[in-house]
Each structure stands twice: as structure tokens, then as C-alpha cells.
Structure 1
Amino acid sequence: MQFTPTQKRAASWCLLTAFISFALWLLAPVLTPFVIATVLAYALTPLVDWLDNVGNRRLPRMLAVLVVELLFIVVVLAVMLLVVPILVKQLPLMREQVPVLLDTLNSTLKPFFAQFGIAFSWDVGSIKAFMLKYLNANADNAFASVMTSLKLGGSVAFAIFGNAVLIPVALFYLLTDWHKLVPRVLLFVPPHMRTSFDSFTAEADAVLGQYLRGQLLVMLVLAVFYSIGLALFGLDLALPIGVFTGLAVFVPYVGFGLGLILATLAGFLEFATSAGPTKAIVMVAVVYGLGQFIESLFLTPRLVGERIGLHPLAVIFALLAFGHLFGFVGVLVALPVSAVLLVAVRRAQAHYLSSQLYQKGGQ
């Protein structure tokens, strides 16, 4: 059987793609910090270029890179530290309110099951003692537990700390030499494909830029909304939980779920003795229900969804697929990568619809 040059070329590209994909799969643990640094460099390069332009190119690029990277690290640490006041506030409340909540739950469930002739009973005292034993543990025991976990999972701890150092270093070099590295990569594109490749990358870059700008606006609006909404119900931790929920929306569904759990737990613990758990349920239902409604029907469609064009089912599938293949990093990059793949699919579809093969099939 004879193959045409076009078929041979297509087969070669398929084999090359399969080989590269297999190599990337094998090297995924090693490549992860570099992939993260590359994504961050792509997102932060415009800010570095802006600082260069503001300084009329008199500001050394290395200094602009240092300023941008330090600002980024500060923002990341600030987001992570939002959890600290939540834990500091919640742990003492849990020690105080858990016994009360257990008694309330016990007194509520017994009459409910009694209506159906079910004799419901549980050992509230033992459950209280079990939970309070761990909630009342001192800092020394907690520190010892953490150290034991680090010893048992030394490789995991080493990987975390190694990535925490490697990612900023790789990001610094990528931001510094970004405009030198990109042209070198483009040299691997065959000259006869350069026009199509440049057109594709320009469209993908526009889609990703719109996605990032739209997502940042959505995060800012939701952070303000959740903070104000929780504060109106009198929640002491309204600001950290609201800001955390708004910023965590960057990870679709997962961020909203974490914020919902934190707000529910904080509401139950804070309102247990004053207004009862009903106020916590109403607060979460109103604030997070309205927030999800606003995000789904107004913010995301107008600022993000319409610009990317991904169906909700495609979003869910992308999150599950990338999360399964690449872990938490995959969840973070699922939507941007899916947006680029969508551009490729659109171009492939347009090429097929305009091809002679499709036109002959329609005759």
C-alpha cells in the first residue's frame, strides 16, 4: 500500500506528538514547577513590560522583574494568610460550641425520630470527650504531630519546599529573558507554517488575555460581595472568609465549595448560642446562593464565558480531566489550556468545512 506525501507527513506528526506526550507524562513531576513558572511568566510579562515603558526603558528589566515577582509573592502569601485568622478564631469557638451543638443536635433528633417510633440515642458524653481531647491539644502536641508527618512523608515535604524555591527562581529567569526565549522557540516552526502559527498564537493570546482580565474582575467583585454580605449578617470573620471565597473562585467550583464550608462552619459556631443554627443556614443560603446566581448569570458569562465560549459541561470535564492527569496544578490551568484547545478545534473545524473532502461529501 502506497502512502501519499501528505499522509506520510501527517503520520510523522502524529508519531512525534505521541512521543512528546509520553515523554511529558513521564517527566510530569519534574516539569511541574517549570510549567507553573511558564504560566506565571506569560501572565506577568505584560506587567514587567509596562514597568519598562513607564521608566522609558531606563529601568533595568531585572529590577522590574524583581518588583513584579516580589509583589506577586506578597499577594500569594497574603491570600494564604487569610486562613490564619479563620483558624485562630474558629479553634477556640469549636472548643466552646461543640458541646452545645452536640446537645442541641441530640435534643432535636430524639423527638424527630420518636415521631416515627424509632428510639434514637447516642453517647453524647463520649463524643464530647473524643472531640474535645483533640481540640484542647496544646501547641507542643500539634507541633510534634506536624513533625512526625513530615518525617513520614519526607519526600512530599521535600517536593513542596523544593517547588517553593524552584518556581520563583525559574519565574525570575523566564521573566528576564521572555522576549529572547519566545523568538528562539518560534525558530522550530517551519517557514511555510509560520503565517498560520502566528495567526493561531495571536488568537489564543487574545482569548487568554480576555480570560485573565475577566477572571480578575470576577474575583474582585465577588470578594467585595461576599465580604459585605457576610458582614451584614454580623459574622465576625466576614472579611477574611469573603475575600478568600472571592479569590478562590479562580479555581471553579472548588473555590466556591471551600468558601461555603468555611462560612457554614463559622456561622454555626458563632451563632450557636445567640441566634441558633438557623441564622447560619439563612446566611449561607442567601449570601452564597445570591453570589452563585450573580456569578453564573451575569459576571462569568459577560466577563469570561462569552469570551472563551466553553460550555459548562466542557468546563466540568476539563477540570476533572486535567485534575486527574496533573493534580492541583491541572485544575488551575484547566480553563486557560481548554481555551487554547478550543481555538485549535475551531480552526480545525473551519479548515475541514472549507476543504474539498467536506465539499465532496456534501454532494
Structure 2
Amino acid sequence: MADSRRWVWWGVALGFALFVYFLHPILTPFLVAIVLAYMFDPVVDRLERAGLSRTWGVVAVFALFTIILMTLLLVLVPLLAKQLLKLYQLAPQVLDWLQHTAMPWVQAKLGLSDSFWKFDKIKAAITEHMGQATDIVGVVLSQATASSLALIGFLANLVLIPVVAFYLLRDWNIMMAKIHGLLPRARAEQIVSLAKECHDVLGAFVRGQLLVMLALGVIYSAGLMFVGLELGLLIGLMAGVAAIVPYMGFIVGIGAALIAGLFQFGGDLYPMLGIVAVFMVGQALEGTVLTPLLVGDKIGMHPVAVIFAILAGGELFGFTGVLLALPVAAVIMVLVRHVQDLYKDSQVYKGSEDPQL
């Protein structure tokens, strides 16, 4: 009987994997909606305790979120478009430096042949298309409208995400109660305990780590723009996104900022020290304030595991896999931790208690 139940669970797991594999092209808006509902459920719960109905609490959260999002888009999109164009124009200068300064030094040290590098062709290709990129927003829109079907699908997803998120958030507690009611009574307490532990880990990541990334993006961007770096906003936001992996945001951000500062300031000492100071302050705030306050020690995922989960999810299911990767990895980590505890409590690990065996 136990074997049959085990095969049923394996069948359910296989069916879920096949469902995700075959339908992952259309799952992205639903996954984004689930993430939004999961993130904002505690806020709506607080509004309910304050006296608002569930529906009006969801409406208030969505209205505030929409206002903040539209404000950020109106401010950030033009600035990012200008900085992306500036980065595109800077690329040939970077290639010149690599071709005439950095690579000859490496070539002399390693004894490489003169024909090893192909920077002339790369530079020519970039320079040839330079005049065509006068407006980044226009380029993006032209690519998006190249296929009317793709544009319609993109717009449909934009409309679908808030609609699905609204209904999920409004009925979140009802759905959780129904799922709890379907649990096997004999295992309900154990399953709820595991679910609570997974919830703690997921909450720490989805809410805590994303807030840390947002805070670091703001700190790095504001600091670099204060120093006067022309690509400060772009590099700061990139470093904030890369902070999903511990120390990755610091490494990527300071490397890109120093390279951009080298070309903009021409090796002037004080701006370069300012760039280093911005990232040192951001790293110090992340380790002493942001991560302990917003995340705590509930994730417990090794940086290598985070990188592997993101790459594996993207390779298997594309952007949908990237969205699923870390939540699934966090749940697997909790389950593996319990399996490890069971193994250490078993006779296989402890050995036989009979000295004759």
C-alpha cells in the first residue's frame, strides 16, 4: 500500500514537471502574478486588520503600486535610454583601449601571436551600426513592432498580469484554506510544518532579498551619479540586480564603474576613489544593515547553489525557469535538510547497535 502511494506522488511530480515543460511559454504572466500576490499578501492582511475589506485592501495596494511604478517609469526610462546610447557610443573606445593597451600587454606576457585578437573586425561592426542607433527607445520599439503577433502577445501579458494578480491576492487566504483542507489528516501537521519552513525561506528571499537588491541599486546609482559618472544609473541598477548572488553585485558593479570612470575621468584620482567609496559603503550597508534587517539568516542557500539554480532554470524553461529557479531551489533545500535529519537518525548512518554485526 505504501509503495502504491509512493508511486502516486511520483506520478504527480512527473505530471507537474511535464505541465511546466510543455506550457512554460504561457506561464510567465501567471508566475509573475503569483509572485506579486505572495509579496503583497502581508500588506493586504494588515489593511484588513486596520478595518478595510479584503477587496478594498487589494485595490489600495494596487493603486499605490501603480503610482510608484508609473513614477519610476516616467523618470527612469528616459535616463536609462540616454545612458544605454552613451554606453553604445563608448564601446569602440573600450575596444581601442583593449586593442592597443590591454591586449598587447597580455600578448607580451603570454607570448601570443599577433593574429590572435580580432578586435578590428569587432570595432568595424560596431562602428558601422553606430549611426543607426540614435534613439534606444526607437530601436526597441521598432524591434517590438517587427512582429505584430509578438507585440499583441506582449501587450496581452501586460494586461493579464495585474488581472490575475488581483484575483489571486483577493482570494489568497481562501485558496490557502482550501489547500489546507485537502491535506491528508494523518500528515497534515507535518506538511504544514514543512510548508511553514518553506514559507519562511521563500519570504526571506522573495521579499527580503528583492528589497536588498532594490536598496543596493538605489545606493549604487545615487552614489555614482553624485560622483559624476555618466553611466552611474545604468551601472548602479545592474549592480543591484547582480546582488541576487552574494558579492556578485559588488564585483560586477565596481568593475564596470571603474572601467567607465577610467574612460570618462581619464585616470583622475579623486573620482576613481569616489567610485570605490560608493561600493565600499554599499557593501558595508548590505552586510551590517540591509541583509540582517530584511533577510536574516533564513535563506541559507550557498552562492554557488544560487548561480546553478538560475542557470539551470533558464536553460530548461527559459525566462519561466528563471522565475521558478530560486523558489524551487529553496523548497528543495528545505526538503533535503529534513531528509538529511532523517538519514542521520537512521541505522544506516548510526550503524548497527548489535556489536556482533
TM-score scaled by length of structure 1: 0.73
Question: Structure 2 CA distance, aligned partners of 1:238 and 1:259?
Answer: 10
* Partner in structure 1 of residue 11 of structure 2: 15
Among candidates 213, 225, 230, match of residue 224 of structure 2: 230
Question: Structure 1 CA distance, aligned partners of 2:114 and 2:2?
Answer: 77
* Partner in structure 2 of residue 147 of structure 1: 142
1:311-326 alignment, distance < 5 Å: 311-326=302-317
* Partner in structure 2 of residue 209 of structure 1: 203
Question: Structure 1 CA distance, aligned partners of 2:304 and 2:353?
Answer: 30
* Partner in structure 1 of residue 64 of structure 2: 71
Q: What is the Cα deviation at residue 161 of structure 1?
A: 2.2
Contact 1:204 1:343 in 2 (8 A): yes
Cα deviations by residue, 1:118-157 (Å, 9 ceiling, x for unpaired): 989x9x9999886555333376998488436633x45543
Paired amino acid for 1:60: S
Cα RMSD between the aligned structures?
Answer: 4.5
Q: What is the Cα deviation at residue 313 of structure 1?
A: 2.1
Structure 1, unpaired ranges of 5+: none
* Partner in structure 1 of residue 24 of structure 2: 28
Q: Partner of 1:321: helix, strand, or coil?
A: helix
Among candidates 37, 40, 43, match of residue 41 of structure 1: 37
Question: Structure 2 CA distance, aligned partners of 1:51 and 1:257?
Answer: 40
Among candidates 142, 164, 180, match of residue 186 of structure 1: 180
Distance 1:278 1:136, change over 3 A: farther
Structure 2, unpaired ranges of 5+: none
Query: Percent of aligned positions with the same letter in both sequences?
Result: 38
Question: Structure 2 CA distance, aligned partners of 1:164 and 1:175?
Answer: 17
Number of residues of Structure 1 aligned to a counterpart in Structure 2: 350
Paired amino acid for 1:161: L
TM-score scaled by length of structure 2: 0.74
Contact 2:25 2:320 in 1 (8 A): no
Q: Partner of 1:136: helix, strand, or coil?
A: helix
Q: What is the Cα deviation at residue 168 of structure 1?
A: 0.9
Cα deviations by residue, 1:2-43 (Å, 9 ceiling, x for unpaired): xxx222322232223222322232222233322221122111
Q: What is the Cα deviation at residue 117 of structure 1?
A: 12
Question: Structure 1 CA distance, aligned partners of 2:173 and 2:282?
Answer: 40
Question: Structure 2 CA distance, aligned partners of 1:141 and 1:216?
Answer: 27
Distance 1:277 1:329, change over 3 A: farther
Question: Structure 1 CA distance, aligned partners of 2:169 and 2:28?
Answer: 17
Question: Structure 2 CA distance, aligned partners of 1:16 and 1:99?
Answer: 54
Q: What is the Cα deviation at residue 90 of structure 1?
A: 5.4
Cα deviations by residue, 1:285-320 (Å, 9 ceiling, x for unpaired): 665577568757986588647322212222222122
Cα deviations by residue, 1:98-121 (Å, 9 ceiling, x for unpaired): 78777777775899689999989x
Q: What is the Cα deviation at residue 169 of structure 1?
A: 0.8
